[in-house]
Amino acid sequence: MKIKKLLRNLFKTSAVLLLLVFYLTVSTPQGITAFKTIFFIAQVIPNMPVKPSDIFVKDPIQDEVSFQLNDGEGLADIYRPDDDEKHAAVLLFLGVNPAGRTDQRVVNLGRSLARSGMVVMIPWSENMTNYVIEPNEVNELISGYKYLLKQDFVNPEKTGFGGFCVGASLVTVAASDESINAKVSFVNFFGGFFDAEDLIVSVSSKTRFGKYGHQEWSQAIRL
């Protein structure tokens, strides 16, 4: 009898804990964030055997869009949840020589973020693809961000920038522009350059300074 009573108590305790975890997950910002993070990580890792988002979330919508620039049109891909709600949004800039628009890593990143409930805009720059950094890239990012803010599926109070390498530095400069600064809620800065002089030297010489001293970019990549 004692064993049966112990098992009943254990079952009740486990049930209460599961209900508590479920409540925290669906009713608190921290729980929702943790839940979405777990789903996102499982989705974005290529060899992950189980991808819960494929089961519980509809396939996101992917659109190619163009937006007005001072001297032409910009090109971007937008990934967004397949619903009628307004979502947080990020303009994500991949930097110098990014992977192509159809690269599976880029597509998977955009789709995974959209499955987690975020709108993702990835602008494409021919100059950056060809290792050319132009000052007007910042203006193009500003124009792209203004375009993103106007979309019906975007919550303008929860928008910001994200960037990698040189792209991180450029989106940070763009986010500081007075025409949009008050509307930027966040900037995710991944491995960007913090020193303009260092950036110019690195790009012009195609070298970097690492633990082995000055290295050519090709050597740095192999190492």
pLDDT digits (tens, 9 = 90+) for 86-127: 999 999 998 776 667 777 888 888 888 898 888 999 998 877
Structure confidence by residue, pLDDT tens digits, 30-61: 555 555 655 555 555 666 665 555 656 678 89
CA torsion sign for 145, 148, 150, 153 is: negative
First-last CA distance in the chain: 65
Separation of alpha carbons 65 and 166, rounded Å:
23
Pick the CATH number of 57-192 from 3.40.50.1820, 3.40.50.740, 1.10.1060.10, 3.30.1330.10: 3.40.50.1820
Which tens digit of pLDDT belongs to each residue from 119-156? 999 998 877 777 677 778 889 999 999 999 999 999 99
Query: Torsion over CA of 204, 208, 212 and 214, rounded to 10 degrees?
Result: 20
The DSSP-derived string for 31-55 is: HHHHHHHHHHHHHHSTT-S--HHHH
Q: Decide the pairing of beta strands 207-210 and 213-216.
A: antiparallel
